[in-house]
Amino acid sequence: QVRLAESGGGSVQAGGSLRLSCTASEYRGICMGWFRQVPGKDREALAAIFSNDGFPYYADSAKGRFTISQDKSKRTVYLQMNSLKPEDTAMYYCAADRGLSHYDCLSDSATIYDYTFWGQGTQVTVAS
């Protein structure tokens, strides 16, 4: 069982920035992902990182404005979000899986169904 605790959500004006954090109970050989979900819509993949080497993956919707990073000593993955837009308003979730390969973790083939462990979510609201 991997426990995840997210933080860093909140309300911000359009154009602003937020940094989300997700601390895991274990952090070795694990794929960490960030997702978001708007009510009534599917959960959307944003970014992923493989803990052993820190290589990142970004979905098209996250490229250019979002950055995923990690601090292995703190067992924490971050999602830095810049130039936020009202359409970024959503519940943001951290997810983890120990079974995803390096290749699958960092490709668009990994879906929400491939992640075993999920955080409780943190709300991000961007005002126009």
Q: What is the pLDDT of residues 91-106, one digit of tens each?
A: 999 999 999 999 989 9
User: Is it the case that residue 110 has pLDDT exceeding 90?
Assistant: no
Pair 100, 112: CB distance under 8 Å: no
Structure confidence at residue 46 as a pLDDT band (50, 70, 90): very high
Average pLDDT estimate for 6-23: 97
Mean pLDDT value across residues 3-18:
97
CA distances from 114 to 22, 33, 45, 80, 110 (A): 18, 10, 11, 23, 6
Residue 49, beta-bridge partner list: 32, 56
Higher confidence at residue 17 or residue 28? 17
